[in-house]
Amino acid sequence: MCKKHRPINCIVPPHVLEQMLKSKDQRVADAALRTIIISERIRGEREILGPVRSAVFANGVGQKRRSIHDAEHQRLPPSLLPGKLVRTEGQAPVTDGSVNRAYDGLGATYDFYKSVLGRNSIDDHGMRLVATVHFGNRFNNAFWNGSQMVFGDGDNVVFKDFTRSLDVIAHELAHGVTESTAGLEYHNQSGALNESFSDVFGSLVKQFSNNQDVNQADWLIGKDIMGPEFTGTALRSIKNPGSAYTNDPNLGTDPQPKHMNDFVTLPDNEDGDFGGVHINSGIPNHAFFLVAKSLGGKAWEQAGKIWYDALKQLFPLATFQDCADVTAQVASAKFGAGSIQHEAVLNAWDRVGVRVTPPQPVLAPVERVAAASNGSHAIGLRERLVELSDELRVTADQLSLQ
């Protein structure tokens, strides 16, 4: 049995921070080192403390309830999070843009789940949405710790304030949705699916908030947090994984694959990003994009609902094959076998190198008995069953004549 990881789900993956350590810009390297050290400490605390979700964050009333806190540039341990309360539900905007963006981002995410998917907050039980801004000093990340969001301010070279990107906020909150549904374990293919669902729903929240169709959407994750010396377009691309940046002086080249032929095998540990969960997520990401693009219109209306229903049916150690099979089953159940939606799902997974497992035919009782045996014995058994049926029918006819 594998060890169940209790990660802090960060938007900036380890391979990016490690690449930044090699930067010739000392500002970038220093900020990356600081972020890695802090992240390792937080991860260690998470492993020791276990699940940190608390009933204090639940209300069950089905209403939007947000609270934004300020870490005041301190690296607060779990016992001191979320920090100083600076804005709560219904209060007017404050002078701090980070506070207001976090407040609005939490609200937009809540609205998406409630309006589109009928979900009562992140855990579907009215969980209060909590966020902490200004975490640490030049902290290059944003993360979900199991009960709340935490945002760094970035180094203002490669990354800017992490509250600037709605898809980043929604991505991290989606980890809470996954925890409350499939519970996808954070390693190898199940971990890559965990990251992929967060990218997908992060993008859908942004598209829903901006009322964009599949052609208007940019399908990028983190475009708005990229700093002034970044030469690419975003942190990741769902439309075309592996194209978000190329030969950037600080980040190198986007390593995400979009086909199983390019699946990356990495160690299942922290150094290997638990099997490359942030890298191989490009494959299911691209599958979702292909479905959405094929169906057209607003991606959350059909493709998004298929993926959400599938997430609720998946399980902790689900693989890409499992996800392909379940999304196909959902599409067939919702829209009909052979429907446009069903075919779109089949074709999309096939294009990323995952062939959906054909459904097994439902056999009649005699056929099931015959199929349980092999070769001539199966044929003989079936023939004998037919003979017995004929004999019973003859006997019944004789009894009726007496």
Give the integer Cα–Cα distance in Å for 57 and 148.
9
Residue count of the chain: 402
Catalytic: which of 175, 278, 286, 342?
A: 278
Question: Please, are residues 151 and 223 in contact by the beta-carbon 8 Å criterion?
Answer: no
Nearest to 8 by CA among 265, 316, 274, 266: 274
343 is a catalytic site residue: no
Beta-carbon contacts of 103 under 8 Å, excluding residues fewer than 6 positions away, are 66, 68, 87, 93, 131
Q: What is the DSSP letter of 239?
A: S
195 is a catalytic site residue: no
Compute how many other C-beta atoms are within 10 angstroms of the C-beta atom of residue 25. 15
Nearest to 328 by CA among 356, 361, 290: 356
- State the pairing for strand pair 84-88/66-70: antiparallel
* Strand (E) or helix (H) holding 182: none
Give the integer Cα–Cα distance in Å for 289 and 299.
9
Catalytic: which of 15, 69, 171, 172?
A: 172
Beta-carbon contacts of 91 under 8 Å, excluding residues fewer than 6 positions away, are none
Question: Please, are residues 165 and 152 in contact by the beta-carbon 8 Å criterion?
Answer: no
Catalytic site positions: 172, 278
